[in-house]
Every structure is written in structure tokens, then in C-alpha cells.
Structure 1
Amino acid sequence: MTLFSPLKILPLLIPAAFLITACTLWLPGHPQVLNNAFTEAFKTGFIGILLEALPFVLLGALLSSLLRVFVPDEMISRWIPRRPLPAILCGCLLGILFPVCECGMIPLVRRLMHKGMPLYVAIVFILSGPILNPVVYGATLTAFRAHPELAYARMGLAFIVAAAIGFIVYATVRKTPLRLSIARESGEPHEQSTRGGKLAAVFVHTSDEFFEMGKYLIIGCLLTSGIQTFMDQGSLAAIGGKPLGSYLFMMGLSYVLSLCSTSDAFVASTFLHTFPSGSLLAFMVLGPILDFKNSLMLLSLFKTRFALYLFFLIFSAVFTGSVLASLWL
């Protein structure tokens, strides 16, 4: 029997606390927001974002489960070249073949590292896998139908950020940063020999991942709809008009919302007319790579010093890359 762990609810505490604090401090001074027009706009925005994103979340969970059940870890490890440059490129491209959401990335990479995957390749896979896959590309293209260049830029920036950080880790980290207490996962279900057993496992894993990602999607939709509905549009425009402020706001929002990479583009698209394209790109690249729940998982996998070093590299690379990309968008 598995005991309940308080750590499982930690990723929900920051967005929930943010929502409760905002309602407590702001709503009493603005009673007009509780009228029918505001509540109808809030419900419409929430349902619209949720319904657009749910099919992609479900598809991502299904493909991730198929990979987990039918593709052995050893097959992935055998494909990794020994030389650094081909290995980093291979790590970037693994996401195209194995569309694993960020929610399942850390357990998968932990298994692969115990089976011999080099650290720098594992880092590249962690950073690129949640974005560089067909499901996320399709979701981003759907969310930005009128601006397909944002989908291309998201894929390109994710590739560049992952490859650059992989080279930096290869060049600067010599000792293993894995926590000594981490052992190979013992809770992984053994694949059954019958076809029915594997198919049943796919449905179980799909439902688990779908509900795991769904709670973050719902909180993200609630917060985004609240910001779009109740926050003064002049304030949003003022933030969007300040380049530094817009980038920091959107990157901070992506960290707090902890959205799945198959749904965050739909949230970002709601800010299209108030924020510059570069800040939306930063939102869509940083969130799947580094958010609140990912931070907890990375801290559980790596020693604190290396994890903080990795956080700094990710933030710096995404910020710099999105600012440079905004010159083209």
C-alpha cells in the first residue's frame, strides 16, 4: 500500500495560493467584477481554453504510455552515439520519436541514466523532449493558426537552448551530480507477456498521466481566464509595453502555472494582442523545461548545487534566445 506523501500536492500549492491571495486582496475593492458580464466572460474564456487543449493533452498521455509499455529503455540507450556532438543532436531529436510529456520525463531519464546514458545527453533529452515532438508542434500550430512562425520559432529555440546547455554541461561538469540516495525505480510495473496485459497497462498509464496533467491544465486555465477577465486591460498593456517587464511576467507565469507542453500554447495565444511575440515564445519554451513541478523533480534527481546551476542556465538561455528571436518574429 502506498502512503500519501505531502510532496504530491506541493506543485498545486503555489498556483492555488496565488489565486486565493489575488481574490482576497483584489476582489473586495472591485465588486463590479462579480456582475454577470464578467462572470460570463470568465466562464467563456475558461471553457474555450480547456476544450482546445484537452485533445492534445489526451493524445500526449496516450503516446507517452505507448512508449512506456512497448519500447524498452535499452533500445533508446543503444541509439545514443559516443561522440559529444552526434550524441547531443541525437538527444535533441529523441523527442521527435518519443513524445513524452515533461510529467513523465524525469522518471524516464532516471531509468536511462542508470542504464548508462551520459549526463549531458540526459540533460538535452530533459530539455528538448517535452517540446520537440509532433504533438506539441501540432498543438502550437493550432493555437497560433494566424501566426505559424511562432510554432517554428518555438521548435527552433527549444532545439538551440537544449543543445547549448548540453555542450555547457559536457564542458563544465566532471563529477556525477546524481543524488546518492536515488536508486533505480522499483515501482515500475513489469510488462506482461500477453497482448491484453500490455494494452490494459497502456490504458492505466494513459488515465494516470491524463489526470496528473489535467489538474495543472485546469488551474492554468482558471488563472489565465481570471487575468484576462478581471485584470484591467490597461495594466496588461502597460506590462506588455515594457520589454523587460513582459518577458519576466510571462516567464514567471509559465513557472507558476506549470502547464503541460501540449496545452500551454493555447494559454499563450490569449496574450497575443497585449504582449510581444518574444515574451510569448519565452513562456512556451521555459514552462515545459522549467516550472514549479519540474523544479521539485529535478531537485529530487540531482544535487542541489547542480540543480541550481541548471536552473540558471535554463533561465539565461531562454531569456536571451527569446529576446534575439523577437528581432525576427
Structure 2
Amino acid sequence: MSQLYNAFTLFLSLLIEAFPFLLLGVLLSSILLLLIDEERLIKILPKNPFLGALAGSCIGFLFPVCECGNVPVARRLLMQGIPTSAAIGFLLAAPTINPVVIWSTWVAFRGQPEIVVFRIVFSLSIAVFMGCVFSVEKDSRPLLQPFLAQRVTRLRHQISKRNLSTQEGFRQDSLTLLQSGTFLLDKPGKPLSIEAMAETAIASSTNSTPDSTKRFKLVLDNVVQELRELGGMLILGSSIAACLQVFVPREMILDLGQGTISSIIAMMLLAAIVSICSTVDSFFALSFASTFTTSSLLAFLVFGPMIDIKAIGLMFSIFKPRMLIYLFVLIAQLTFILALYHSYFF
């Protein structure tokens, strides 16, 4: 009975820790929906897979979100049609390549600044490499969950419809446009034109709410819809992570920390099971500094923000299971190779 109590306590702690960052990511995704011109964003990003993945990875520095907040932002970017390499790069690098995490790592390992440098370099290298790998798939829809792929299809249909009407000389504002602040998906999946709705409301009643108020309500609707979809996955991932922490003896993992290879594997497993937020995982890893090697600590700091039970649960709202298996296997291999390289040459 005490184990169930401990599992429930851990579940609540994980949920309370992660939810604010998930909310921040949802708010950012809603802001992107209204303020960013999709076509302009696509034109700005490099077409080269390597440069696109690098640019997407560095976007995380502008949006300080952890592995809970980056998922809704990455999902919004994919829906807007940015290259797959840039979206994957952002999804994997944002939890580490942001000022908050870099600062917290520096504070925790002030006496070992090389850990901060290698964490940034290794995380950025893995994110860019994974972005290049998945850039082979030019159309991201085969990688996405069916309901998300349908949304992407609707968005692209709106773009092609607008381009066709523009070429034929029709007035651009006569269509439901996919522009900054003009388009939103309704719950049944039908497109809504914000300006058209506002004009209809104003024409029907002089007491109608202002356009700015209407936009704000639509943003709130999007926030509610995102939280409803992602919140369930966060609860599922947090519950699994809590159960693993309670019912899998941590001594089984700590006993592996004596050898070079086994310590790296142990800390990667610990990172996936504990599912601690990337903003504070440095202080958690610091408690193992006297027991584990520096390379294994790096493996924990690099692998955890990219792949943990909580993050996998959220990623299920974007990708198909086969895609997640590819991500998990490739990232685990790359993290192990880089940590092993560090142990032998540094």
C-alpha cells in the first residue's frame, strides 16, 4: 500500500512540475498560429537539410521550453508546413538549447564548465543529425498521426486554393486565407476565417465584441483544444514514469555504474525512467557525480530531455509509433556513441 502511495505522490509531483511548461508551450503554439505568416516562415528557413535542421535546432534558443512545452510548438510548426528537418531539430534541441537550461547546467556544474559545453555540442549534433535523417521524407504527413495529417492536408489545401485564386486574378480577401491571424481550425475540423467571423458579428449586431476580443477568444479555444489533447498524454506518461520509479528498484540501475559502458547505459535508463524536467535535471545529475563517470552524467543530460517516458507520451500526439521507435533507437545509439567517445578522449 505504501508503494501505491509513493507512486501516486511521484505522479502528482511529475504532473505539477511538467504542466506549467506544457501550458507555456501551448500558449506559444497559439501565438504562432495568429502572429506568424506560414509562407514567410517556410521561405526564411533554409531548404538544405543540414542548414534547415541547424536553424530549427537554434529556434529553441528563442523559445525557452522544456521537453513538455516543445511538443505543442513543434506540432504547430509541422502544421504550418515547415521542413521536417527543421521541426525534428527543434523538437529534440529545444529542451537543451535554450538559455534557462544552459544557465541551470552552469550553476549545477560550475566547477566543471566542460559539461555545459559538451551538453550543448552533443545535443545540437544529435538534433541536427536526426533532422538530416528524417529530411529524406519530404512530406511529413506519413510520419504523423492520422488526425494531425488530416489537419496538415487541410492547411495545404487552403494554401493551394489561395495561390490558384491569386493567379487567376481574384481578390485575395474573398477566400478563407491561411495568413497571420486569419485562420483557425474548428473542432469538427472545418476552417474558420477570423476576419469573416468578426465582420459577420459586427454586421449582425452593433453590440458585437471587438475584433481583438474575438481573436482572443479564438486563441483561448485553441489553447483549450491543445491542452485537452496533450494533457491526456502527459497524464499517461507521468503515471508510467511514476510506476517505473517505484516498482523498479533503483539499485538495479545504480549497480551498473561501476564500468565505463555500463555506467553510460545505466544513466540513460535512469534519465528515461525518472523523466525529470530539463530545467532542473542538472541538479539531479549532480547528486550522482561522486558515483558515476562524467561521460555517464553527460549521457543523462543529453538523452533525458530528448527521450523520456513523459516526452514519449506527448510525442504520441504527433508521430506514429513506428516513428517514435526510430527516434528512440537512433537517439539512444548516438548518445551512447558520443558519451563513449567522451570517456576515451576527454
Return the TM-score normalized by structure 1.
0.66
- Aligned partner of 2:293: which letter? P
* Distance (Å, rounded) in 2 between the aligned partners of 1:88 and 1:103: 20
Selected match of 1:178 from 139, 144, 153:
144
Which amino acid in structure 1 is aligned with residue 146 of structure 2?
L
CA distance in 2 between partners of 1:268 and 1:141 (Å): 13
121, 124, 132: which is aligned to 1:167? 132
2-structure distance, mates of 1:168, 1:123: 10
Deviation at 1:169, TM superposition (A): 1.8
For structure 1, list consecutive stretches of 5 or more residues without a partner in the other structure. 1-16, 25-49
Q: Quick check: 2:26–2:69 contact (8 Å CA) kept in 1?
A: no
Q: CA deviation at 1:186?
A: 5.3
1:133-157, Cα deviation, whole Å (9 max, x unpaired): 1111001111111111111110110
* CA–CA separation in structure 2 for the residues paired with 1:262 and 1:114: 27
Are the counterparts in 2 of residues 60 and 135 from structure 1 also a CA contact under 8 Å? no
Of all paired residues, the percent bearing the same amino acid is 33
Identify which of 297, 315, 326 aligns with 1:280.
297
Structure 1 residue 273, shift from structure 2 partner: 0.8
Q: 2:112 aligns with which of 128, 140, 147?
A: 147
Deviations 1:257-314 (CA, angstroms, capped at 9, x unpaired): 1111101111001001110011111111111100112222223322222221121111
Tell me if structure 1 keeps the 8 A contact 2:21–2:68.
no
Structure 2 partner of 1:289: 306
Structure 2 Cα separation of the partners of residues 297 and 252 of structure 1: 19
Q: CA deviation at 1:118?
A: 1.8
Residues 1:122 and 2:105 are matched in the alignment: no
- Number of residue pairs matched by the alignment: 265
Alpha-carbon deviations, 1:153-188, whole Å to 9, x = none? 10110001111112222247877311222254757x
Q: Which AA in structure 2 matches 1:142?
A: V
Three-state SS of the structure 1 residue aligned to 2:69 is helix
Instruction: Work out the CA distance in 2 between the residues paired with 1:327 and 1:294.
Output: 30
Match of 2:319 among 287, 302, 315: 302
Correspondence for 1:260: 277
Partner of residue 86, structure 1: 51
Aligned pair partner of 2:73 in 93, 103, 108: 108
Q: Distance in 2 between matches of 1:277 and 1:268?
A: 10
Deviations 1:75-133 (A, max 9, x none): 65453222222211101211111222211222221221121112222111111111101
What's 1:317 paired with? Answer: 334
Change (3 A) 1:63 1:108: closer
Name the structure 2 match of 1:244.
261
Partner residue, 2:212:
193
Matched letter for residue 20 of structure 1: Q
Aligned-partner SS, 2:147: coil
Structure-1 separation of matches of 2:291 and 2:44:
44
What is the CA–CA distance in structure 1 between the aligned matches of 2:75 and 2:19, rounded to whole Å?
A: 24
- Which amino acid in structure 2 is aligned with residue 178 of structure 1? L
Question: CA RMSD for the aligned pairs?
Answer: 4.2
**Structure 2 CA distance, aligned partners of 1:65 and 1:179?**
18
Contact 2:267–2:300 (CA<8 Å) still a contact in 1? yes
Which residue identity is paired with 2:129? A
Indicate the structure (1 or 2) with the bigger Cα radius of gyration.
2
In the aligned structure 2, how far is the partner of 1:316 from the partner of 1:246?
A: 15
Letter in 2 for 1:286: F
Change (3 A) 1:73 1:325: farther
Q: Is the 8 A contact 2:24 2:69 kept in 1?
A: no
Alignment-mate amino acid for residue 278 of structure 1:
S
TM-score of the two chains, using structure 2 as the length reference: 0.63
Distance 2:186 2:71 in 1: 15
Structure 2: state its 5+ residue gaps.
8-12, 152-184, 188-193, 195-210
Paired with 2:30 and 2:138, the residues of 1 have a C-alpha distance of: 33
Distance 2:139 2:43 in 1: 23
